[in-house]
Structure 1
Amino acid sequence: MTEQQSNGLPFVHANGLCESKRVGPGTRVWAFAHILPGARIGANCNVCDHVFIENDVIVGDDVTIKCGVQLWDGLRVGNRVFIGPNATFTNDMRPRSKVYPDAFLQTVLEDDVSIGANATILPGIRIGRGAMVGAGAVVTRDVPPYATVVGNPAVIIGYQDTQSSQTASAERPRLGGADALGAKIGSRIELGVSNCFLERLPHFSDMRGSLTPLENGKGLPFVPVRNFLVYDVASSRVRGEHAHRKCEQFLVAARGGVSVVVDDGRSRAEVRLTDPSVGLYLAPMVWGIQYKFDRDSLLLVMASRPYEADDYIRDYDEFRELVNR
């Protein structure tokens, strides 16, 4: 350990070049890395060999930037972000040699994001808190908080567990309905996320077919004011991604299957709805996401209130702030 490191100051390898004066204590800049004067780097970061950082770049605390990464103008990196080897960032949708835009597009990596090796991130994209980008993925649009994306173009294949100082993150059950609940009408599984639960609805089958009646007090926990259907959703697309301040919802996969993530800002669960005799209750102030739609899926949603634009919370950071209050 050098004297600079022991004093908490940034360490710059003899073969590294750091022109910026705004580098936090404890940060290490290794051989053949180059940081331009305008860049701002937080504390306790690790800037590995052959990293280049341009002027209009802001990097938070406790960030790891592995070898062969270039951070171009317009990039904003949150705290505790991991950027894997040779990950590629871009800042111009239509680059031409010696032709520069008035301002470069801003790309944002929120806190706790992980970028896999050789991933490519298009300009102007926001990657949400806690998201994970798989190795080699090509990210062409915004990534929701805690999502895991892979492929070219990148698609969501799952969601990361939430960790909180207030409550430990729950194991995310992946419930198909029938196997978890059994056949008994009224059986219920509490998800450990606010008041959300899965419930076995009344259901009847004979040689003529099957029937699932929905009545208030017999499966439905409220009198629905608004009902709607979600269908023809491509498997690569995501629905929901919002919370309601007051509105309660009840979801039934009338046909096919869909995965639903529920998140109260402290813990999170994921369930797979595949059975029309199983309902999922979403309490108010719960962030809901629906994804992995089967090709022929038909999702029935019942709501306790009419459509009210002010009841929606569409920004996850705002949602977390409201929950923490």
Structure 2
Amino acid sequence: MKNSRVYDCSIIELDKHHHEKGNITVIENRNTIPFETKRIYYLYDVPGGESRGGHAHKELSQLIVAVSGSFSVTLDDGVVKRTFLLNRPYQGLYIIPGIWRTLDDFSSGSVCLVLASHPYYEEDYIRDYNEFLSCKLTKKR
């Protein structure tokens, strides 16, 4: 797991093309985002008060977009926590490996689109926060 910090994660402004019949936003591998997308999924119908995420990845990078509605993403590098409100479909939150993430405060009807740099691989996940902190401390030495 990389020795990453929450300040290495950022909002990426996505191309927004306005048209009188509606807007379009385009995301291109290694052009708009700094990785090649290997998996795409989306979260929706998240009940009020529920959280998603609650894990970190060892190698996977992600771009998270609120394509509809809004939600908060809290990033944690083991030292600093940083929360982003995502509510614009032309902005995405770029998350690098080695960052704990939690998604919450989903508005009614919200849709969370996730572009991932790798296919699903269970061994890439760290789902226990204490294990995550232990891995971060090991990397600092």
TM-score, structure 1 normalization: 0.40
Matched letter for residue 99 of structure 2:
V
Shift of 1:302: 0.7
- Ranges in structure 1 where 5+ consecutive residues have no aligned partner: 1-191
Residue 209 of structure 1 is matched in structure 2 by: 22
| One of 215, 220, 239 as aligned partner of 2:52 | 239
Paired residue secondary structure (1:198): strand
Per-residue displacement from partner, 1:285-325 (whole Å, max 9, x unpaired)? 10000000011100000111111111110000100000011
Q: Secondary structure at the match of 2:23?
A: strand
CA distance in 1, matches of 2:32, 2:49: 31
1:274 is aligned to 87
Which one has a larger percent strand, Structure 1 or Structure 2? 2
Query: What SS is found at the alignment partner of 1:246?
Result: coil
Name the residue aligned to 2:42.
229
CA distance in 2, matches of 1:197, 1:222: 14
What code does the residue aligned with 2:90 have? S
Residue aligned with 2:82, SS = strand
From the CA coordinates, give the structure whose radius of gyration is larger: 1
Cα shift at 1:213: 0.3
Task: Quote the RMSD (CA, aligned, Å).
Answer: 1.0
**1:261 has 2:83 as partner:** no
Q: Secondary structure at the match of 1:212?
A: strand
After TM superposition, the score normalised by the length of structure 2 is 0.92
Aligned equivalents of 1:302, 1:313: Cα separation in 2: 19
Deviation at 1:199, TM superposition (A): 1.2
Give the residue type in structure 2 aligned to 1:231. Y
SS of residue in 1 equivalent to 2:54: strand
Cα deviation, 1:258-302, whole Å, max 9, x if unaligned, reads: 100001111110000000000101110100000000111000001
What does 1:1-325 correspond to in 2, within 5 Å?
A: 193-325=6-138
Count residues in correspondence.
134
Q: Post-superposition shift, 1:216?
A: 1.9
| Higher RCO structure, 1 or 2 (CA under 8 Å, sep 6+) | 2
Distance across 1 between alignment mates of 2:7 and 2:55: 15
Question: Which residue identity lines up with residue 289 of structure 1 in the other structure?
Answer: T
| Contact 1:227–1:300 (Cα < 8 Å) also in 2 | yes
Is the CA contact 1:201–1:218 (under 8 Å) kept in the aligned structure 2?
no
Question: d(CA) in 1 for partners of 2:41 and 2:29?
Answer: 17
Q: What SS class does the counterpart of residue 85 from structure 2 fall into? A: strand
Tell me the distance in 1 between the aligned counterparts of 2:91 and 2:48. 21
Structure 1 residue 235: Cα displacement: 2.1
Superposition deviation, residue 194 in structure 1: 4.9
- The one-letter amino acid of 1:234's match is P
Q: Percent identity?
A: 37
Q: Equivalents in 2 of 1:310, 1:259: separation in Å?
A: 26
- The 1:265/1:247 distance shift into structure 2, 3 A limit, reads same
1 CA distance for matches of 2:128 and 2:50? 18
Task: Give the helix-richer structure, 1 or 2.
Answer: 2
1:219 offset after TM fit, Å? 2.2
Once residues 11 and 48 of structure 2 are traced to their aligned partners in structure 1, the CA distance between those partners, rounded to angstroms, is 23
CA distance in 2, matches of 1:324, 1:219: 33
Q: Which amino acid aligns with 1:238?
A: S
Deviation at 1:218, TM superposition (A): 3.2
